[in-house]
Amino acid sequence: MTLVAFNICNAQTSINQDRMITPLPTSIPYDKEKAMLGKQLYMDTSLSKDGKVSCNTCHDLKRYGVDNEIFSIGADGVLDEPFNSPTTFNSVFNFVQFWDGKAKNLADQAKNPFINPKEMALKDEAEVVKKVEANAKYKASFDKIYGEITMQNITDAIAEFEKTLITPNAPFDRYLNGDENAISSQAKRGWEAFKSNGCVACHQGQNIGGTMYQKIGIFEPYPNQENLGRYEITKIESDKMVFKVPSLRNVAKTAPYYHDGSIPTLDACVQFMAYYQLGRFLDQQTVDDIVAFLESLTGEFNEQF
């Protein structure tokens, strides 16, 4: 009797866990006119202090929305510490923006880089608006779509463009949609290990992350305590070293890893996750399996225009 009950319980847990990750939609609604304008702004280096840096410098559309550097280089060659550049791909699905969640949505986020002295380094929002106004092509588009050029309208257009940066049809999504052959048997073992070891408790939902905050270093303190994450914003003791759980979509393409870019390979990243977050050591076979699973999360990016 006990055994049967145990089995039923186990089966239910695994069914529930199976549903904790869902495929990405193949598209989401967006306003094309605004998004096309947003793309021009996203690619435009003239909207930076030295005329050399755009959003695309650090969030390269040809590199899954990152630059693969530990820290990016902003205007005038300034090192953009202390955070590794996260991807802009699928960021629309994250419940908040930035590692520490300091922006509530994409439009709110997009105000920051223009005037961040380590990124595009313009003086203030007025200078951003002035630079956009100086470009006749922008003036015509803004007049037509929004009626005027304001910081709010600039960031609205960028956020609209970012809705097109989604990567559906990953092999794992095709597997979830019923194509048994979409991923290897090693990746299937990795998915099982991802669930049974508790990774899915934090990395879950359609973005396989981006749904909650968690502390880094639950079982072992994280060595780099230079930036304290959520605590820097809330000053609540229990928020020390708490960060947004990042999405694992396209994670095989977005090295290096963690908020400080300190981990160069996915293999080491998985091993450290088990150590810091779960207090366990995974054998190399399990790590390899989980890495194969993570590699099956690389989706398709179709540039819309």
Q: What string marks each residue from 41 to 80 as x (binds ligand HEC by CB under 6 A) or -?
A: -x----------x-x-xxx------------x-x-----x
Three-state DSSP class for 291?
Answer: helix
| Cα dist from 126 to 114, 142, 159, 205, 249, whole Å | 11, 16, 19, 39, 36
106 vs 174, beta carbon nearer ligand HEC:
106
109 near ligand HEC, judged by CB under 6 A: yes
- Token pair for residue 287? 């790590």
Of these, 257, 296, 298, 299, which contacts ligand HEC (CB under 6 A)?
A: 257
Specify the length of the chain in residues: 305
277 near ligand HEC, judged by CB under 6 A: yes
Between CA 205 and CA 167 the distance in angstroms is: 15
120 vs 292, beta carbon nearer ligand HEC:
120
E runs forming strands in 168-279? 213-215, 242-244
173 vs 211, beta carbon nearer ligand HEC:
211
Q: What is the CA radius of gyration of the chain?
A: 21
89 near ligand HEC, judged by CB under 6 A: no
171 vs 208, beta carbon nearer ligand HEC:
208
- Token pair for residue 228? 């304290």
Q: What string marks each residue from 7 to 46 as x (binds ligand HEC by CB under 6 A) or -?
A: -----------------------------------x----
Q: Which stretch binds ligand HEC (CB under 6 A): 6-14, 22-30, 106-114, 132-140?
A: 106-114
8 vs 134, beta carbon nearer ligand HEC:
134
State in angstroms the smallest separation of the CB of 120 from ligand HEC.
5
122 near ligand HEC, judged by CB under 6 A: no
24 DSSP 8-state letter: P
Of these, 36, 61, 201, 233, which contacts ligand HEC (CB under 6 A)?
A: 201
Write the CB contacts of 151 (distance below 8 Å, at least 6 apart in sequence): 111, 125, 128, 129
Is the Cβ–Cβ distance between 212 and 245 less than 8 Å?
yes
E runs forming strands in 121-248? 213-215, 242-244
Q: Burial code of 62-101, b = ≥16 C-beta within 10 A, e = fewer?
A: eebbbbeebbbbbbeebebeebbbbbbbbbbbbbbbbbbb
Residue with tokens 């909207």: 47
Q: Which stretch binds ligand HEC (CB under 6 A): 2-10, 19-27, 175-183, 269-277?
A: 269-277
Give the active site residues. Answer: 119
156 near ligand HEC, judged by CB under 6 A: no
Q: Which stretch binds ligand HEC (CB under 6 A): 28-36, 136-144, 172-180, 196-204?
A: 196-204
CA 44 to chain centre: 22
Could you count the other beta carbons within 10 Å of the beta carbon of residue 135?
17
Question: Angle at CA 39, nearest 5°, toward 34 and 42?
Answer: 125
8 DSSP 8-state letter: H
State in angstroms the smallest separation of the CB of 180 from ligand HEC.
23
Site of interaction with ligand HEC (CB under 6 A): 42, 53, 55, 57-59, 72, 74, 80, 83, 85-86, 88, 91, 94, 97-99, 106, 109-110, 113-114, 119-120, 158, 194, 197-199, 201-203, 214, 216, 218, 243, 245-246, 248, 251, 254, 257-259, 269-270, 273-274, 277-278, 290
